[in-house]
């Protein structure tokens, strides 16, 4: 599984990149057919609370899954994105098993 992290107009810390990598690996327990995880991080202007935006795109099960959240911290945004994506993966997997 390939994980690509893109931080727009800032440099993501190693700690943040490790956090994202760890969260992406946890998605494999919902689906073992994940080919690519693309994460884009952006600080929304103006500088206020709730200005960290994270978008996560997953290519798996011959489909594309996407979640985008804006939160106080990038970790919180990534967490909520990964929760949403794990639900999407589970639903898709259940639908495929029914067929």
| DSSP collapsed to 3 states, 41-71 | EEECCCCCCCCEEEEEEEEECCEEEEEEEEE
If one compares 54 and 62, the residue with the highest pLDDT of the two is: 54
Could you tell me the CATH number of the domain that includes residue 64? 3.30.160.100
Query: What are 35-50's pLDDT values in tens digits?
Result: 999 999 999 887 778 8
The pTM score is 0.90
Inter-residue contact 54 to 41 (CB < 8 Å): yes
Q: CA-to-CA distance for 90 and 48, rounded, in angstroms?
A: 35
> pLDDT at position 99, please?
64
Q: Please give the residue range of the domain that contains residue 35.
A: 2-98
Q: CA-to-CA distance for 43 and 46, rounded, in angstroms?
A: 9
Number of structural domains the chain divides into: 1
């Amino acid at each position: 599984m390939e994980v690509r992290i893109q931080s727009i107009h800032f440099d993501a810390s190693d700690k943040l990149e490790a956090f994202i990598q760890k969260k992406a690996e946890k998605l494999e327990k919902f689906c073992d057919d994940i080919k690519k995880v693309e994460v884009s991080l952006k600080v929304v202007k103006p500088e206020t609370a709730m200005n960290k935006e994270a978008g996560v795109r997953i290519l798996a099960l011959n489909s594309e899954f996407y979640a985008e959240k804006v939160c106080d911290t990038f970790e919180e945004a990534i967490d909520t994105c990964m929760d949403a994506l794990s639900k999407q993966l589970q639903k898709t997997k259940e639908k495929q098993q029914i067929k």
